[in-house]
Amino acid sequence: MAAKRIESVNDFVVKFANVNGSGSASANTLFAKSIMRMGVPISPRNIFPSNIQGLPTWYEVRVSEQGWLGRRGGADLMVAMNPQTWDRDVAEIDPGGYLFYDSTKPLPASKFRDDITVIGMPLTAICNDAYSDARERQLFKNIIYVGALAALLGIEPDVIAELIGEQYRGKEKLLQPNVHALHMGYAYARDRLGGPIGLRVARSDAVGDRIFIEGNSAAALGCVYGGATVAAWYPLTPSSSMAEAFARHCRKFRVDPDSGRARYAIVQAEDELAAIGVVIGAGWNGARAFTATSGPGISLMQEFIGLAYFAEIPAVIFDVQRGGPSTGMPTRTQQSDVLACAYASHGDTKHPLLFPEDPKEAFEFAALSFDLAERLQTPVFVLSDLDIGMNERLCEPLEWDDARRYDRGKVMTYEMLESGQDFGRYLDTDGDGIPYRTYPGTHASKGAYFTRGTTRDAYARYSERGPDYLYNMERLMRKFATAANLVPQPIMRPAAQPTRRGVIYFGSTTPAMDEALDMLAKGGMHLDALRLRAYPFPKSVADFIAAHDEVFVVEQNRDAQLKTLLVNDAGVNPATLIPILHYDGTPITARFITDAVAAEVRRLNVRPLHGGRAA
Amino acid sequence: MTYLAKPKLHHPDLPQNRLGYTRRDYEGTVSTLCAGCGHDSISAAIIQAFFELAIPPHRVAKLSGIGCSSKTPTYFLGQSHGFNSVHGRMPSVLTGASLANRELVYLGVSGDGDSASIGLGQFAHAMRRGVNMVYIVENNGVYGLTKGQFSATADRGSKSKRGAVNTDSPIDLVGLALQLGASFVARSFSGDKAQLVPLIKAAVEHRGAAFIDVVSPCVAFNNHPGSTKSYDYVRAHNEAVNRLDFMPRRDEVTADYPPGSVVDVVMHDGSVMHLHKLAADYDPTDRVRAMNYLAERAARGEVVTGLLYVDARAEDLHYHLGTVDAPLNSLGERELCPGAAALREFNAALR
Ligand SMILES: Cc1ncc(C[n+]2csc(CCOP(=O)(O)OP(=O)(O)O)c2C)c(N)n1
Ligand code: SF4
Ligand SMILES: [Mg+2]
* B123 vs B114: CA distance, rounded Å: 9
Q: What's the rounded mean pLDDT across residues B311-320?
A: 96
Spatial distance between the Cα atoms of A176 and A174, rounded to a whole number of angstroms: 6
Dihedral of the alpha carbons of A268, A274, A280, A284, in degrees to the nearest 10: -90
DSSP per position, A177-242: HHHHHHHHHHHHHHHHS-S--SEE------STT-EEEEHHHHHHHHHHHTT--EEEE---TTTHHH
pLDDT tens digits, one per residue of A135-148: 889 889 999 999 99
pLDDT more than 70, % of chain B: 93
Instruction: Give the list of residues 6+ apart from residue A226 with CB closer than 8 angstroms, or none.
Output: A288, A366, A367, A368, A369, A370, A371, A406
Residue type, A23: G
Confidence of residue A21 (pLDDT cuts 50, 70, 90): confident
Alpha helices in B137-279 (DSSP H): 173-180, 193-205, 231-237
Mean pLDDT of A105-128: 96
Q: Which of A224, A276, A283, A297 is nearest to A254 (CA)?
A: A224
Cβ proximity of B216 and B42 under 8 Å = yes
Residue B275 has a pLDDT of: 86
Over residues B214-236, the pLDDT tens digits come to 999 999 999 999 999 999 999 99
> Is B248 a pocket residue for ligand 1 (Cβ < 6 Å)?
no
- The amino acid sitting at A323 is G
Q: Are strands A42-47 and A56-64 parallel, antiparallel or unpaired?
A: antiparallel
Q: Measure the CA dihedral A14/A15/A19/A24, to 10°.
A: 30
- Does A224 contact chain B (CB < 8 Å)? yes
Ligand 1 centroid from CA B126, angstroms: 20
pLDDT band at A264 (very low <50, low <70, confident <90, very high): very high
- Please check the confidence at residue A608 and state whether its pLDDT lies above 70: no
Helix axes A510-522, A590-605, angle to 10 degrees: 50
Domains and CATH numbers, chain A: 8-200 (3.40.920.10), 213-395 (3.40.50.970), 414-486 (no CATH), 491-605 (3.40.50.920)
pLDDT reading at A339 higher than 70: yes
Distance from the CA of A104 to the center of ligand 2, in angstroms? 78
Q: Report whether pLDDT(B181) > 70.
A: yes
Strands of B262-266's sheet, edge to edge? B242-247, B272-277, B262-266
Q: Are the beta carbons of B336 and A400 separated by less than 8 Å?
A: no
Mutation site for B-interface testing, chosen from A217, A221, A229, A405 by largest number of B Cβ within 10 Å: A229
Question: Does the distance separating the beta carbons of B99 and A287 come in below 8 Å?
Answer: yes
Q: Which residues have CB under 8 Å from A9's CB, separation 6+?
A: A65, A199, A200, A201, A202
User: What mean pLDDT is predicted for residues A483-498?
Assistant: 97
Of B36, B30, B31, B32, residue with least CA distance to B218: B36
Contact A121, A98 (CB under 8 A): no
Alpha carbons A28 and A574: distance in angstroms, whole number: 45
Query: Cβ distance B70 to B108 under 8 Å?
Result: no
Residue B193's pLDDT band (boundaries 50, 70, 90)? very high
Cβ–ligand 2 distance for B142 under 6 Å, the answer no
For range A86-99, the mean pLDDT: 97
Instruction: Tell me, yes or no, if B20 comes closer than 8 A to chain A by beta carbon.
Output: no
Q: What pLDDT shows up at residue B8?
A: 56
DSSP B281-325: T--TT-HHHHHHHHHHHHHTT-EEEEEEEE-TT---HHHHHTB-S
Distance in Å, alpha carbon of A176 to nearest chain B alpha carbon:
22
Note the pLDDT of residue B260.
64
Say yes or no: CB of residue B60 within 6 Å of ligand 2: no
Inter-chain residue contact B84 with A289, CB threshold 8 Å: no
Are B322 and A262 within 8 A, CB to CB? yes
pLDDT at A250: 98
Within an 8 Å CB–CB cutoff, is residue A511 touching chain B?
A: no
H-type alpha helices, A326-463: 338-342, 359-376, 386-389, 414-418
Among all ligands shown, which has an atom nearest to the Cα of B229? 3
ipTM of the shown complex: 0.95
- pLDDT bucket at B269, cuts 50 / 70 / 90: confident
CA pair distance A86, B262, nearest whole angstrom: 78
- Write out chain B residues lying below 8 Å of A266, CB-based: 321
Evaluate whether A317 touches A293 at the Cβ level (below 8 Å).
yes
Amino acid at A33: K
Q: Which among B13, B42, B14, B9 is positioned nearest to B28, based on CA atoms?
A: B42
* Nearest CA, atom 6, ligand 2: B34
Would you say residue A610 has pLDDT above 70? no
Flag whether residue A61 sits within 8 Å of chain B, measured between CB atoms.
no
Give me the pLDDT at residue A566, please.
97
- Which of A47-51, A297-301, B274-278 has maximum average pLDDT? A297-301
Strand A75-80 with A11-19, pairing: parallel
List phi, psi (to 5°) of A417.
-65, -45
**If contacts are CB pairs under 8 Å, which of residues 41-100 in chain B contact chain A?**
56-59, 61, 63, 73-74, 78-86, 89, 91-100
Q: Looking at the predicted structure, is the pLDDT value of residue B208 above 90?
A: yes
Q: What is the pLDDT of residues A508-565, one digit of tens each?
A: 999 999 999 999 999 999 999 999 999 999 999 999 999 999 999 999 999 999 999 9
Question: What's the pLDDT band for B1 if we cut at 50, 70, 90?
Answer: very low
**What pLDDT does B83 receive?**
98
Q: What is each CA distance from B151 to B141, B169, B334, in whole angstroms?
A: 5, 11, 50
C-alpha–C-alpha distance, residues B148 and B219, integer Å: 10
Q: Which atom of ligand 1 is nearest to the CA of A303?
A: 1
- With left for phi above 0 and alpha for psi between -120 and 50, is residue A442 left, alpha or beta? alpha
Chain A residue numbers with beta carbons less than 8 Å from the beta carbon of B338 are 224-225, 253
Mean pLDDT of chain A: 96
User: Is the minimum CB–CB distance between A289 and chain B shorter than 8 Å?
Assistant: yes
In CATH terms, the superfamily for domain B23-326 is Thiamin diphosphate (ThDP)-binding fold, Pyr/PP domains (3.40.50.970)
Q: What is the pLDDT of residue A223?
A: 99
Q: What is the mean pLDDT of residues B320-349?
A: 98
B129 contact residues in A (CB cutoff 8 A): 267
Whether residues A401 and B73 touch (CB distance < 8 A) is answered with no
Amino acid, single-letter form, for residue A74:
G
For chain B, say whether A497 makes contact (Cβ under 8 Å): no
Which residues have a Cβ under 8 Å from the Cβ of A220 and sit 6 or more positions away?
Answer: A242, A243, A245, A246, A248, A249, A292, A366
Q: What average pLDDT score do residues B145-174 get?
A: 96
Check CB contact under 8 Å for B95 and A278. yes
How does residue B44 score in pLDDT terms, banded at 50, 70 and 90?
very high
Of A192 and B269, which is predicted with more confidence? A192
Nearest to A450 by CA among A577, A249, A284, A336: A284
What is the model's pLDDT at position B6?
Answer: 52
**Which A residues 36-55 touch B at CB under 8 Å?**
36
Please indicate whether, in this complex, the C-beta atoms of A259 and B351 are within 8 angstroms of each other: no
User: Where are the extended beta strands (E) located within A406-479?
Assistant: 450-452
Evaluate if residue A408 carries a pLDDT over 50.
yes
Q: Is the pLDDT of residue B249 over 80?
A: no
